[in-house]
C-alpha cells in the first residue's frame, strides 16, 4: 500500500523558535496533501490543504502566517510552525492524496512540544 512518512517523529523546541515538519509520499505522487492537528484527548482537526505548486488553503481560524506550508514537489510538503509557543504543542499529522485509493493516506504524525 501507499506509504506516507513524516519527519521528525518528535521535536522539542524553545518558545519563539520555528520548527519545520516534513511530509513525504514515499511511493506515489501526491498532488494534494493535508495537514491536521490533534490536541490531547481530541480528534484530528484539518488545518490546511496543500497543493503542489500553489498556495495552501487554510481552514477558518488557522493563521497562515504562523503555519507556513510549502508543497514544492509532488512527494514533499512541509509545515513550518513559526515563533512556536507552548499552546502550539500538539500532534501534527499529514495525509496525501494520489496513492491509488479513494481516500488519502495518513502519515505517522509528529509530536511537537514547545517549552
Partner 1 sequence: TQLLEQSPQFLSIQEGENLTVYCNSSSVFSSLQWYRQEPGEGPVLLVTVVTGGEVKKLKRLTFQFGDARKDSSLHITAAQPGDTGLYLCAAGYQKVTFGIGTKLQVIP
Binding residues for partner 1 (CB under 8 A): 4, 6, 32, 34, 41-46, 49, 91, 93, 95, 97, 102-104, 106-109, 111
Shortest distance (Å) from residue 3 CB to partner 1: 11
When the beta carbons of 74 and 91 are compared against partner 1, the nearer one is 91
Does residue 79 contact residue 21 with C-beta atoms inside 8 Å?
yes
d(CA 28, CA 64): 27
Closest approach of Cβ 79 to partner 1, in Å? 14
Beta strands at 110-114 and 19-25: parallel, antiparallel or unpaired: unpaired
Q: What gap in Å lies between CA 58 and CA 102, rounded to an integer? A: 22
Nearer to partner 1, 15 or 27 (CB): 27
Nearer to partner 1, 16 or 108 (CB): 108
Extract the C-alpha cell encoding 6.
513524516
Q: Which residues lie closer than 8 Å to 41 by C-beta, 6 or more apart?
A: none
CB of 97 to partner 1, least distance (A): 5
Is the preceding peptide bond at 8 cis, omega within 30 degrees of 0? yes
Q: Given the complex with partner 1, which of 82 and 89 has the nearer CB atom?
A: 89
State the minimum distance, in angstroms, from the CB of residue 6 to partner 1.
Answer: 8
Amino acid at each position: 500500500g501507499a506509504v506516507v512518512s513524516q519527519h521528525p517523529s518528535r521535536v522539542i523546541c524553545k518558545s519563539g523558535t520555528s520548527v519545520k515538519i516534513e511530509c513525504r509520499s514515499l511511493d506515489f505522487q501526491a498532488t494534494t496533501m493535508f495537514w491536521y492537528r490533534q490536541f490531547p484527548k481530541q480528534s484530528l482537526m484539518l488545518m490546511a490543504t496543500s497543493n503542489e505548486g500553489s498556495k495552501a488553503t487554510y481552514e477558518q481560524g488557522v493563521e497562515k502566517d504562523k503555519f507556513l506550508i510549502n508543497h514544492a514537489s509532488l512527494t514533499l510538503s512541509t509545515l513550518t510552525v513559526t515563533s512556536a509557543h507552548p499552546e502550539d504543542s500538539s500532534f501534527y499529522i499529514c495525509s496525501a492524496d494520489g496513492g491509488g485509493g479513494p481516500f488519502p493516506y495518513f502519515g505517522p504524525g509528529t509530536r511537537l512540544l514547545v517549552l
